[in-house]
Amino acid sequence: MPALIGPRATVEKGVQLPDGAQLGQYPPLSSLNPEFMEPIYVGHRRQVLVVGPVGSRADMVTAIYKQAETHDRVYIFTGCFGGTLEMFEDAVLARKNADDPNRAQYAAVIGLIRAFDGYRP
């Protein structure tokens, strides 16, 4: 599965993204969180972190840093999920049992995403 970079995504001229990265929703993903329709803007390739494969579907998790008006948000996209890092963490806790090894993988990915936040432009 290629890296997915959110609905209504735009990329600054000259920015190179990972091979196979998918911008926007093509084909449209009706299962993507309907409450999350924030536009994505990538002005520098260091705003993108792709980790994986992880989870039961062995999918890629794409983090987009420095989003929203305050540039302090991290957006996450993986499979049928699109939302903020906080929404992703809540979804993992709600959908994965404490003894599920995939929950531990996602927890490690969330920790990695947070650790990298300070190094993003």
Mean pLDDT of the chain: 81
Confidence (pLDDT) at 86: 94
Which residue matches tokens 């540039």? Answer: 71
Structure confidence at residue 71 as a pLDDT band (50, 70, 90): confident
Which residue matches tokens 């890296």? Answer: 3
For the whole prediction, is pTM greater than 0.85?
Answer: no
- Name the strand (E) or helix (H) holding 9: none
Confidence (pLDDT) at 32: 58
Determine the angle formed by the axes of helices 85-95 and 101-116, rounding to 10 degrees: 170
What is the sign of the dihedral through the CA atoms of 47, 52, 55 and 57?
Answer: positive
The CA distance from 82 to 44, in Å, is 20
Structure confidence at residue 26 as a pLDDT band (50, 70, 90): very low
- Domains of the chain: which residue ranges? 4-119
